[in-house]
Amino acid sequence: MITKITRFLARFGYYKIGIHLPISYGRFGTFSQKFRAFCAKKFLIHVGKNVNIEHGAMITSLMSIGDNSGVGINSKMHGRITIGKNVMMGPECIIYTRNHAFEDITVPMCQQGFQEEKPVEIGDDVWIGGRVIILPGVHISSGVIIGAGSVVTKDVPSYAIVGGNPARILKYR
């Protein structure tokens, strides 16, 4: 019953898990990390083993996160997001799964609602630098490195190193 309620509420807002707990390193870090992972298992679609959801991260129950992966400090994610195994994420990353509607020029944009949700998928063994923004519908393949401050607008092929705004392929691993 509680799981159904939390998933219903997650469609309307974010959860901040253990916001008053310290970051995952330091004196009480191990306890904080384990407590946030325990809470996440109660309402996320899937939570793998050894998951680290950092202090201040805002997430919803429509998310799935694989083994040995982490969500960075003060990161914001909303909607259907699949994070693979062994994913490292820097602080203050943002993942969007929908945008405002703007098609009808006779109606103000703030009154048009939202476009259809487009899920974001992140493959295994991905390193996402700090303050990266990933836009709706993007698929990031396995082995990718995304440079800090990048804005990812298109799918990223396996083992690519991308950076910039908009992110472009710099080289391959």
| pTM attached to this predicted model | 0.84
Q: What is the pLDDT of residue 33?
A: 76
* DSSP state at residue 50: T
Active site (catalytic) residues: 100
Q: What is the pLDDT of residue 155?
A: 97
CATH of the domain at 11: 2.160.10.10
Looking only at the bridges linking them, the beta strands covering 81-83 and 120-122 are parallel
Residue spans of the chain under pLDDT 70: 1-29
The amino acid that residue 8 corresponds to is F
Q: What is the pLDDT of residue 137?
A: 96
Please return the burial class of 26, using the count of CB atoms within 10 Å of its CB with bins 0-12, 13-18 and 19+: exposed
Domain total for the chain? Answer: 1
Domain residue limits at 105: 2-172
38-79 per-position pLDDT tens digit = 878 878 889 999 998 888 888 888 899 999 999 999 999 988
